[in-house]
């Protein structure tokens, strides 16, 4: 059968396609801005026909109605990362959180630890050979689709077409629903004076020719502001956003010195505005791959001079980093932080940076603390930590004693909290600061 006939046979309405989901099944939703919002809206509107459907999602950028109050009987959210839209549900017990490294998520689906009944994804229309393209989110979305018993795809002509390992054949999908709508956008973050100072300090650690991984948020965006005088930078990152496009135009990022896939941006998903989506669309310099490739520490380390930049909630005086919970309250997830900390540290000439404002909650709490809050999960352990950066400077912890780590961290803490930290230091190490 030609793919065109197969496609038209499988083309249906959202209402009919979503009848493929049965009670007690596990549904994996396409990641981040790749989520098929239209399918989710229709699924929620049909909630009365479902009982106890598990919704597995990671960075959920849409409305997250499936975990709103009143949905408990129909849907149970299983978060691989907790975001703004899902925090309340997880805290209230309407959802669960599964700890995991980002790079290992595909293997959870493929190995059958988390068997996938249904993958709900968003794709481009098929190309000449009958392949649809996953566009902005390949990450776990492609492996989950390959592992799923049923795949329901929203076909959106506004989804960018990317290069890499990012396609499914029409024959691999169970039902197609055509619905065109703009891809969800992530607006650039507000960058204040503190973020600028942090960005400037991080930029001191970045050399011409380095390959970068940048997380999401104001700090990564601020780092990019201070890279305008660098040359020949490259990107190997689980995701990237609009700030990178500016630096390509400025001739700063060209991927020319990369030791893995020279000349190419390598990523697993993308989040930004239409400016980013237009930049990546049909751009042979941008390649997206599943996250078990992009985020695998052994792949990351093959990039010489790899620098990773991520953020955290708290760091204690030993260098233990809590990035995903405030005490017991889960506010995000491990994501790719540890994947990149390890990969970058193992790379020849590599560095990993955790960059944070010295305080949180409008300056009322220090992020550098004697002890992590009770119940906090250690995301990056003290042995893995390399650099911590705040607006007050750079602390290089790798290879340092506990005492020297504590001193280095106190030097970059906020002056309002330094006296208390110094007291802890003197009590713990029985010596003057």
Could you tell me the CA-to-CA distances from 139 to 10, 29, 96, 104 in Å, in that order? 25, 12, 21, 11
Sheet containing 150-155: which strands, arranged edge to edge?
A: 95-97, 75-79, 53-57, 26-29, 118-123, 150-155, 175-178
Q: Return the bridge partners of 394, or none.
A: 389
Out of 360, 377, 394, 422, which residue is the one contacting ligand COA (CB under 6 A)?
360
Report in angstroms how near the CB of residue 259 gets to ligand COA at its nearest. 22
* Part of the chain binding ligand COA (CB under 6 A), chosen from 34-42, 250-258, 307-315, 418-426: 307-315
Residue 215, interface with ligand COA (CB under 6 A)? yes
User: Shortest distance, CB of residue 4 to ligand COA, whole angstroms?
Assistant: 39
Instruction: Respond yes or no: is residue 238 known to be catalytic.
Output: yes
Q: Does 40 bind ligand COA (CB under 6 A)?
A: no
Residue 342 contacts residue 306 (beta carbons within 8 Å): no
Is position 153 an interface residue for ligand COA (rule: CB under 6 A)?
Answer: no
Binding of residue 314 to ligand COA (CB under 6 A): yes
Q: Is 395 in the site for ligand COA (CB under 6 A)?
A: no
| Binding span for ligand COA by CB under 6 A among 124-132, 174-182, 294-302, 305-313 | 305-313
Phi and psi at 234, nearest 5°, equal -130, 165
Q: Does 377 bind ligand COA (CB under 6 A)?
A: no
- Residue 218 Cβ vs ligand COA, minimum distance, rounded to whole Å: 6
Task: Give the active site residue among 25, 54, 178, 238.
Answer: 238
Q: Is position 331 an interface residue for ligand COA (rule: CB under 6 A)?
A: yes
Phi-psi domain of 327 (left: phi exceeds 0; alpha: psi -120 through 50; beta: other):
left
Using rule CB under 6 A, residue 413 touches ligand COA: no
**Shortest distance in whole angstroms from residue 371 CB to ligand COA:** 12
CA distance 348 to 273: 34
Angle, to 10 degrees, between the axis of helix 218-225 and the axis of helix 193-203?
60
Task: Pick one of 161, 367, 405, 407: the residue that binds ligand COA (CB under 6 A).
Answer: 367
CA dihedral 410, 412, 414, 419 (to 10 degrees): 20
**Contact pick of 1, 48, 229, 361 for ligand COA (by CB under 6 A):** 361
> Of 27 and 344, which has the nearer Cβ to ligand COA?
344
Short-list 256, 173, 167, CA closest to 210: 256
Distances (CA, A) of 112 to 22, 120, 147, 305: 19, 18, 9, 36
CB of 165 to ligand COA, least distance (A): 20
CA distance 274 to 376: 37
Active site members? 238
Interacting residues toward ligand COA by CB under 6 A: 215-217, 310-314, 323-324, 326, 331-332, 335-337, 360-361, 365, 367
């Amino acid at each position: 059968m030609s793919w065109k006939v197969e496609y038209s046979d499988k083309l249906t309405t959202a209402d009919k396609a979503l009848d493929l989901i049965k009670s007690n099944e596990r549904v994996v939703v396409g990641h981040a801005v790749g989520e098929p919002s239209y399918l989710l809206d229709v699924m929620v509107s049909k909630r009365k026909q479902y009982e106890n459907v598990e919704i597995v999602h990671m960075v959920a950028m849409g409305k997250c109605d499936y975990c709103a109050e009143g949905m408990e009987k129909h849907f149970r959210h299983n978060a691989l990362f907790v975001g703004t839209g899902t925090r309340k549900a997880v805290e209230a017990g309407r959802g669960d959180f599964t700890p995991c490294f980002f790079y290992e998520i595909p293997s959870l689906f493929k190995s059958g630890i988390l068997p996938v009944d249904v993958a709900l994804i968003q794709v481009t229309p098929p190309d000449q050979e009958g392949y649809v393209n996953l566009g902005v989110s390949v990450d776990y979305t492609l492996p989950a689709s390959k592992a799923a018993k049923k795949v329901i795809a929203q076909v959106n002509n506004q989804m960018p077409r990317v290069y890499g390992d990012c396609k499914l054949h029409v024959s691999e999908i169970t039902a197609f629903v055509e619905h065109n709508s703009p891809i969800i956008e992530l607006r650039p973050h507000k960058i204040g004076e503190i973020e600028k100072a942090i960005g400037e300090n991080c930029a001191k650690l970045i050399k011409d020719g380095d390959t970068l991984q940048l997380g999401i948020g104001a700090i990564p965006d601020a780092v990019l502001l201070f890279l305008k005088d660098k040359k020949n930078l490259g990107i190997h990152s689980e995701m990237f956003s609009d700030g990178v496009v500016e630096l390509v135009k400025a001739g700063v990022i060209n991927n020319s010195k990369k030791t893995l896939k020279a000349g190419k941006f390598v990523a697993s998903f993308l989040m930004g505005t239409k400016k980013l989506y237009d930049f990546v669309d049909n751009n042979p310099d941008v390649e997206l791959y599943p996250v078990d490739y992009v985020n695998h520490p052994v792949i990351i380390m093959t990039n010489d001079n790899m620098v990773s930049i991520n953020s955290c909630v708290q760091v204690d005086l030993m260098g233990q980093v809590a990035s995903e919970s405030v005490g017991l309250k889960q506010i995000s997830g491990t994501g790719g932080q540890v994947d990149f900390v390890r990969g970058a540290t193992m790379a020849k000439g590599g560095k990993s940076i955790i960059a944070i404002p010295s305080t949180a909650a409008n300056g009322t709490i220090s992020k550098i603390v004697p002890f992590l809050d009770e119940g906090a999960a250690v995301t990056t352990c003290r042995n893995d930590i390399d650099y911590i950066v705040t607006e007050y400077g750079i602390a290089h912890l790798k290879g340092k004693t506990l005492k020297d780590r504590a001193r280095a961290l106190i030097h970059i803490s906020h002056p309002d909290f330094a006296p208390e930290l110094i007291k802890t230091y003197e009590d713990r190490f029985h010596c003057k600061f």
